[in-house]
């Protein structure tokens, strides 16, 4: 460890020497004194982020959702970098009610499909698209006696 020493000239000549230690301005010279600010916050940020995911898991399990289903859903939201908040959970619960599902059913569906949220409209659109496909050969009108078409 190097230090910046300064000899004071106002001491008596018979004095063996008096040194005044001054801290160095350059952090690379005194690594024991200097700690980069980026080291400490990273640990706290990681702990904080982990707490956010644990809070989301606690929120959803408190609503009665199976713990494994909740963990799977939290993993999906984590992959989307979308922590589960009370507001987000409230919307999912509201939309599940519109679709006629329980919260656990909606969360399970989200975990299965990799959705970070849920909209009741998504279910109605998927069932409508199944019914709006091309008509089958059985749906083509047949000619009857006299040439009148009937469905």
CB 103 within 8 A of CB 125: no
Q: Does the structure show a pLDDT above 90 at 67?
A: yes
Rounded CA-CA distance 113/151 in Å is 39
Answer with the residue of higher pLDDT: 149 or 82. Answer: 82
How far is CA 82 from its chain centroid? Answer: 3
Is the whole-model pTM more than 0.85? no
Question: What pLDDT, in 10s, does the model give residues 105-149?
Answer: 999 999 999 999 999 898 877 656 665 566 566 665 565 555 555
Given a contact cutoff of 8 angstroms between Cβ atoms, the answer to whether 22 and 6 are in contact is yes
Q: What is the mean pLDDT of the chain?
A: 74
């Amino acid at each position: 460890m190097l230090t910046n020493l300064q000899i004071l000239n106002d001491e008596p000549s018979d004095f063996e020497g008096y040194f005044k230690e001054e801290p160095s301005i350059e952090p690379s010279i005194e690594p024991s004194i200097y700690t980069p600010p980026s080291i400490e916050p990273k640990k706290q940020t990681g702990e904080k982020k982990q707490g956010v995911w644990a809070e989301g898991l606690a929120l959803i399990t408190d609503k009665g959702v199976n713990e494994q289903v909740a963990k799977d859903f939290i993993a999906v939201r984590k992959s989307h970098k979308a922590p589960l908040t009370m507001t987000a959970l409230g919307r999912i619960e509201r939309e599940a009610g519109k679709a006629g599902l329980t919260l656990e059913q909606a969360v399970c569906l989200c975990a299965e499909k990799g959705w970070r949220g849920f909209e009741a409209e998504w279910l109605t659109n998927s069932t409508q698209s199944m019914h709006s496909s091309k008509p089958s050969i059985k749906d083509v009108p047949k000619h009857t006696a006299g040439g009148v078409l009937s469905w």
